[in-house]
Amino acid sequence: MWVIYHKDTLLHQTVELIGAKLIPALESPARIEAILKVLEEDEENTIQYLHDKQNPDNLPFPKCEPLSHDLVQELLTKTHDFSYLEHLKTAHAAWVAQGLVEEDDCILPECFRPPTNTTGSRSEQPPEDIFARMGYYAFDMSSGLSKGSWKAILASATIAVEAARLLTVPTMVALQSPYFKIQNTVLALCRPPGHHCDTKMSGGYCYVNNAVLAVEALHHYLNGQYPGLLLIPKVAILDLDFHHGNGTQDYFYSNSAVLYVSIHGLNEFPYYSGFEEETGRDSGRGFNCNYPIPVKTSAEEYMAVLKAAMDKIQDFQPDFLIVSLGFDTFRLDPLGSFDLDTEDYETMARCVRSSDELRSIPAIIMLEGGYVFENLGENMKSFLKGWKGNV
């Protein structure tokens, strides 16, 4: 298993509100540290530390083509609103410069654009005021910005793009094999997560949609390899986070080449999407599939739904699979309420890989939520055990 990690993902550290009380955000660097620790203990994992790029000798293999920072920027501007990205990059420093906060403080939105205001043309435009802009570009207060947030957001995006590269561009695996090899599965340790983010709004701890970027990166790399041909791969996105990935659904809603399938808590955050009747629009009709399930759902009931979701994905016959994986389905998670235990993640992954077609499909396992960091490492290990078990 190839694991992609970047230490800059740890730089994002925010606070959030519980009622009127500010607490350190549950989406914390400790999540990644906990997962990485467990993965490093298993020597079957090849961990690619992207931040060591400047010291190529430290890399576990020679690279064919170094990942360019420009490409990440290009794909970001292709998939997200330009002034939104500028906002993410500059807002914190601008607040500090205006003396609104100290450098180590986190900034939060406060005034949101009322959706009912349809009369003023000005309300469509980003406000000049940097204080107001926080609310213009966010849909909730769980997406604050700290000093290191932009670096972490970029690192997370870079991980998503690198995952797509490893799936599509042959890589020489030094020592292990003299042949050029394409990876079958890449585990992308993205943080911050992405599935709630649309093209111009942060929310639910998400700032940039990493799954969207990975799809665009797959397009980029495939078409770069076969110039003259336009390859549009069929990509299935299976969202197993406890929460509906409204941002991912939105981005591909009219797209028949991307099937979005999500299993998530019924009537839970983000509240306004994730219903069964959301099946896609125009040519994307039939290519969006939501399975909202009630709180307290048992492992047995969950697996039955997953089986149905997998049948749907199998019928689609995808070329690639992206699993938006959140461990907030864990029974102890403070933000989820399913009744899944550590060993259920093994069953879950086994189910995803159980059909002949999907057993060998190139896949990105991409991290979304999951907040019980004491169990995150073991839960990931369990999932990977089930994933590899069938290969």
335 touches ligand OKS by CB under 6 A: yes
Q: Does 142 bind ligand OKS (CB under 6 A)?
A: yes
Query: From the list Zn ion, ligand OKS, none, which binds 194 (C-beta under 5 to 8 Å, kind-based)?
Result: none
**SS3 for 335?**
coil
Secondary structure E strands in the chain: 2-5, 15-18, 21-24, 46-49, 171-172, 180-181, 185-188, 235-239, 258-265, 288-293, 320-325, 363-367
Six-digit token pair at 17? Answer: 């509100």
Backbone φ and ψ of 263, nearest 5°: -115, 125
Please identify, using beta-carbon distances, which residue of 310 and 335 lies nearer to ligand OKS. 335
CA distance 9 to 31: 11
Length of the chain counted residue by residue: 391
Site string for ligand OKS, 84-123 (x = CB under 6 A): ----------------------------------------
CB atoms within 10 A of CB 305: 14
16 binds ligand OKS (CB under 6 A): yes
- Does 139 bind ligand OKS (CB under 6 A)? Our answer is no
Which residue in 87, 196, 220, 243 is the catalytic one?
196
Rounded distance between C-alpha atoms, residue 223 and residue 229, angstroms:
7
Which DSSP state fits 206?
Answer: B
Helices (H), 206-255: 210-225, 246-251
Q: Are 387 and 365 in contact (CB under 8 A)?
A: yes
Q: Of 193-232, which residues contact Zn ion (CB under 5 A)?
A: none
CB 250 → ligand OKS: shortest distance, Å?
15
Over the window 295 to 334, marking each residue x when it contacts Zn ion by CB under 5 A and - when it does not, the resulting string is -------------------------------x-x------
Q: Counting contacts by CB under 6 A, is residue 192 touching ligand OKS?
A: no
269 binds, among ligand OKS, Zn ion, none (CB under 5 to 8 A by kind): ligand OKS
Spatial separation of the C-alpha atoms in residues 59 and 52, rounded to whole Å = 7
Q: Give me the least distance between CB of 274 and Zn ion, in Å please.
A: 12
Tokens of 177: 């094999």
Q: Measure the CA–CA gap between 375 and 369, rounded to whole angstroms.
A: 13
Between 260 and 269, whose beta carbon lies closer to ligand OKS? 269
Cα separations in angstroms, 32 against 53, 130, 143, 266, 371: 20, 31, 18, 27, 10
DSSP per-residue string spanning 29-50: HHHHHHHHHHHHH-TT-EEEEG
Q: Is the peptide bond before 127 cis (omega within 30 degrees of 0)?
A: no
Please report how close the Cβ of residue 297 comes to Zn ion at its closest, in angstroms.
Answer: 15
Q: How far is the CB of 248 from Zn ion (least distance, A)?
A: 12
Distances (CA, A) of 235 to 91, 155, 256: 34, 23, 9
* Least distance (Å) between residue 94 CB and ligand OKS: 24
95, 139, 252, 269: residue in contact with ligand OKS (rule CB under 6 A): 269
Position 243 contacts ligand OKS (CB under 6 A): yes
- Cβ atoms of 317 and 360 closer than 8 Å: no
Structure-token match 């994730």, residue found = 274
Q: CB atoms < 10 A from the CB of 90, how many? A: 15
Mark 47-76 with x for binding to Zn ion (rule: CB under 5 A) and - for no binding: ------------------------------
Q: Does residue 196 have an active-site annotation?
A: yes
Say whether residue 241 binds Zn ion (CB under 5 A).
yes
Residue 8 interface partner, choices Zn ion, ligand OKS, none, CB cut-off 5-8 Å depending on type: none
Contact characters 328-367, Zn ion, x per CB under 5 A: x---------------------------------------
204 binds, among ligand OKS, Zn ion, none (CB under 5 to 8 A by kind): ligand OKS
Residues that bind ligand OKS (CB under 6 A): 16, 142, 196, 204-205, 241, 243, 269, 326, 328, 335, 368-369
Residues that bind Zn ion (CB under 5 A): 241-243, 326, 328, 369
Could you list the active site residues?
196
